[in-house]
Amino acid sequence: MHPKQIRPRRSRWLASIGTLAAVALTTGGVLSWTTPAQASISGYRVTGTGGIGLKVRGNPTDPNAAVAATLADGTAFVAECAVRARNVGGNTVWHRISSPANGWISDYYTTTPGFNQYIPGEPDCNATAPPPANSREDRALGWARSVLGQAYTNGDLGDSNHAWNGWCDNFVAHAYGRKASGYTSALAHYNNLNSRGLIHRDTNPPAGALVFYAGAAVNGGYGHVMLSEGNGSYISSAATVRRVSITWPGAPYLGWSYANPEWAGR
């Protein structure tokens, strides 16, 4: 059994987005990735190839992409960033490496600590720049980070105190300085933004964006929404306010939107 196969798998809804490549298309149709600040993450190795070796591809979305090198089991590599791309055994993470070769490797055949997860601290190759200082998105994220670990509202907007758990749409509204979102649920919020043409379907939401999930058993059919930090990390209300990955909610991913244009922010 491959070592990554014994790790806890994420929800089945990954299959619905596993084939989505986390890439940007230029007008000429050529795949390109934004290069973030160099991460240079080391300490991990190739594993589980059965002696065949891990191919370093020129493109993480094309199974026939050119092979720059083949890395034997045990080979150490240096990762710079990652994207969501071609599905390998239920794992859609691909790392762009700079050593011992330049190119892309599937996370499935590595010793990284999480199955289908970026390495801790690894940036998204498509990560957008942080929002401008003191923009409404910057202020929203600043507030959300300030309440990480908290289980209850603090009444800072003059509203009644309540548990954050089950109040995800209220949470993102608070981040933008509103005591209520004006919607009956996260799903109703999504439907409104979708009807206005404001929903994006890719899986690279920018910092400060609202990230929506469909109604499912895990959320009582009301949907879910959380805030993107723009680097593959998200802030969500739950038993406590916490950082999660895009795979966390256990419901189908619907898309993302900038906060309502009429929300001025904090």
Q: How far is CA 186 from the centre of its chain?
A: 18
At the fourth CATH level, which superfamily is domain 136-257? endopeptidase domain like (from Nostoc punctiforme) (3.90.1720.10)
Could you tell me the pLDDT band of residue 151, with boundaries at 50, 70 and 90?
very high
State which fold the 3-109 domain adopts. Answer: SH3 type barrels. (2.30.30)
d(CA 26, CA 133): 28
Could you tell me the pLDDT band of residue 136, with boundaries at 50, 70 and 90?
very high
Identity of the amino acid at 86: R
> Which neighbouring-strand residues pair with 178?
none
Residues sharing a CB contact under 8 Å with residue 195, sequence separation 6 or more, in sequence order: none
The pLDDT score that the predictor gives to residue 30 is 29
- Greater pLDDT, 190 or 33: 190
- Greater pLDDT, 30 or 106: 106
- For CATH 2.30.30, list the domain ranges present in the chain: 3-109
Structure tokens at 45: 């190795």
Phi first, then psi, for residue 192 (nearest 5°) are -65, -50
- Greater pLDDT, 21 or 262: 262
- For CATH 3.90.1720.10, list the domain ranges present in the chain: 136-257
The pLDDT score that the predictor gives to residue 34 is 44
pLDDT in tens, 92-131: 999 999 899 989 999 999 999 999 999 988 887 766 567 7
The pLDDT score that the predictor gives to residue 129 is 62
